[in-house]
Structure 1
Amino acid sequence: MPVVTDHDAVPLTPVYTIVISENDEASVDGHPVDKLPGQDARAAALANIQERAARLDRPVRVTAKEPDGSSWPLIVDYDGEVTPLDHPHPAPPTPPAARPAPEQPPAPAAPVHLPPPTGEPVIPGPARAAGDVDWMAPLPPEYQEMLDAVKAAEQAGNLAAAEVAAQDLEDALEDAFGPAHPYTVNVVAVRASFAVRRAAWAIGLELHMRAAWLRHDQQAPREETLRLARNAHFCWKHLVAPSRKHPGTHNQAEAQRRVQDLLRMLRHVGVEPIIIATTEEWAAKLLPVAS
């Protein structure tokens, strides 16, 4: 793809901020960026921005800050093309002051749902599925006690116990409705989120892949399916590379063992090509490291 020439056509927001430190570490909007073995900080940060651009399906604005204090406005596209600008990014227009909303009667209580996944790369999905399958329907009342056990453990901060309780709930739903029913698959997604929060990357990878594949085959709301697929990629990257936030949780042998399963799922679901390409690139560098 050629360099972006129509700068004004690129939306003014978001503007991502890359910071490169003197010890060759990178962050995007304050969040550390993991590097491939042998990869420098700038390349890792730009790969992170490429994925963000791919999810938006358009170029994005970036401010890159160097260790010497210099700052560079850039436009980055999903194919990695970087366009330097000779002027700062324009400030977005100030939105007009909102008028106070008229007082409304309290909304009726919403039905009880499973706790939503809360891993780091969360992107909310649409509320309802097309057709006659409602992926947001609450569980039947006879499963409420088991659901309450999941919520109680999660609210107490005991994620391991919450995951066990969710496994019990999943088993009961699978026996009653089958492994591909929305009730069952939604609980698989909840278990996946607990695994991510515990930095149990191999478990999170397996559960996210399973949930994404099953949802895709049933034409569930696509944005949530893509979120699960992206989160599987997120878990796999943490198996590949040591994480400053979760030291000692990577496992390159397991990453090498599961990479073809991950790639099959990513292609099956149809995630952004840059995510597939990034996985292939990491896998190619992983093979000699793990051998």
Structure 2
Amino acid sequence: MPVVTDHAAVPLTPVYTIVIRESGEASVDGHQVETLPGQDARDAALALIQEKAARLDRPVRVNAKEPDGSTWPLIVDWDGEVTPLEQPHPAPAPPATRRAPEQPPATAATPVHLPPPAGEPVIPGVPLAAPGVDWAVPLPPAYREMLDAVKAADVAGRLPAAEVAAKDLEEALDDEYGASHPYTVNVVAVRANLALRRAVWTTSLELHMRAAWLRHDQQAPRGETLRLARNAHFCWKHLAAECSKHSGTHDPAQAQRRVQDLLRVLRHVDVEPIIITTTEEWAAKPLSVAS
């Protein structure tokens, strides 16, 4: 029998998302799940959710998406017990409106300053101002010290340390508010920018894709969402060696493995058709030709 019998007692957030691909691979909230030899990807994904439930000391809500497009709402407890639900998870109440901050926070809406990379990036100078205050409010005071650690490392030019601090901050916000909350998604975008500035193309690609997808699903201000999607394409171009002046870090095989995920994101957020078309044309080439 399921451990969780009072479904309404389980908090409405966070709601984690497991995606099972046709290849058999799985991801949790956009993070690909690593499996042990012989381990099924579904089991590995559920084990990761079980760990998150244990850290929260309570059951959590999950949407499990199958390759055929079906979605199964579940409740997963810390001991691994899975309770399927007959109805989708209830939508959480919208966050209360807050006053805009006096000082701009270090969020995804912060202007991006990049050293000029080789190739032609698709990055506007300054993102559009966000009309929704809930995507621009500062983090709660409990997380200011962690955010200050990110800023201090960034200002000092210690980008690897800033990335580690940002990842710790994201995980803390994920545990408290969920992976799709603006607090968490904004920090994902900060991590994406840090990785981009270090030219860590694969990591930056995955983080930009995840932030763009989550923002689009929540109807966040579109200008910043499009910027993140374009930056994802920019990172992928470096992997694909389409930036002809750039050398040494391209990885066409890696680009081939990521291109379908990128196309899903580009179509999902509805970026400019030319970006989608050129990416589709590259993806259609045999790897030996594309490389």
> TM-score, normalized by length of structure 1?
0.58
Aligned to 2:127: 125
Residue pairs, 1:151-190, within 5 angstroms: 151-190=151-190
Residue from 94, 99, 102 that aligns with 1:110: 102
Equivalent-residue separation in structure 2 for 1:245 and 1:165 (angstroms): 32
SS of residue in 1 equivalent to 2:135: coil
Q: Displacement, 1:244?
A: 6.9
Tell whether the 8 Å contact from 1:240 to 1:252 is kept in structure 2 after alignment. Answer: yes
Aligned partners of 1:177 and 1:184 also within 8 Å: yes
Question: Does structure 1 retain, via aligned residues, the 8 Å contact 2:188–2:207?
Answer: yes
- Against the structure 1 CA distance between its residues 275 and 198, is the aligned structure 2 distance closer, same or farther, given a 3 Å change threshold? same
How far is the alpha carbon of 1:283 from its aligned partner? 2.2
Identical-residue share of aligned pairs (%): 69
- Is the 1:252–1:286 contact (alpha carbons within 8 Å) kept by the matching residues of 2? no
Pick the structure with greater CA Rg.
Answer: 1
Indicate yes or no: 2:266 matched with 1:266.
Answer: yes
Q: 1:158: how far off?
A: 1.1
Q: Which amino acid aligns with 2:187?
A: V
Distance 1:200 1:214 in 2: 22
Deviations 1:202-229, CA, capped at 9 Å, x for gaps:
0011000000000000000001000000
Counterpart in 1 of 2:210?
A: 210
Instruction: Give the Cα separation in 2 of the matches to 1:139 and 1:112.
Output: 11
Shift of 1:272: 0.6
Give the aligned CA root-mean-square deviation in angstroms. Answer: 2.3
1:121 to partner: Cα distance: 4.0
Unaligned runs of 5+ in 2: 1-100, 115-120
In the other structure, the counterpart of 1:65 is: none
The equivalent of 1:41 in structure 2 is none
Q: Against the structure 1 CA distance between its residues 245 and 189, is the aligned structure 2 distance closer, same or farther, given a 3 Å change threshold?
A: farther
Letter in 1 for 2:163: E
Distance (whole Å) between structure 1 residues aligned to residue 163 and residue 245 of structure 2: 21
| 1:15-36 C-alpha deviation (Å, 9 max, x unpaired) | xxxxxxxxxxxxxxxxxxxxxx
2:236 maps to: 236
Paired with 2:195 and 2:237, the residues of 1 have a C-alpha distance of: 15
TM-score (norm 2): 0.58
SS in 2 for 1:146: helix
Q: How many residues align?
A: 182
d(CA) in 2 for partners of 1:147, 1:181: 16
Is contact 2:170-2:188 (8 Å) kept? Answer: yes
Shift of residue 266 of structure 1?
A: 0.4
* CA gap 1:242/1:221 in 2 versus in 1, 3 angstroms: closer
Aligned partners of 1:127 and 1:136 also within 8 Å: no
Note the 1:39-50 alignment, pairs <5 A: none
> Do the aligned partners of residues 248 and 136 (structure 1) sit closer, same or farther apart at CA in structure 2, a change above 3 Å counting?
same
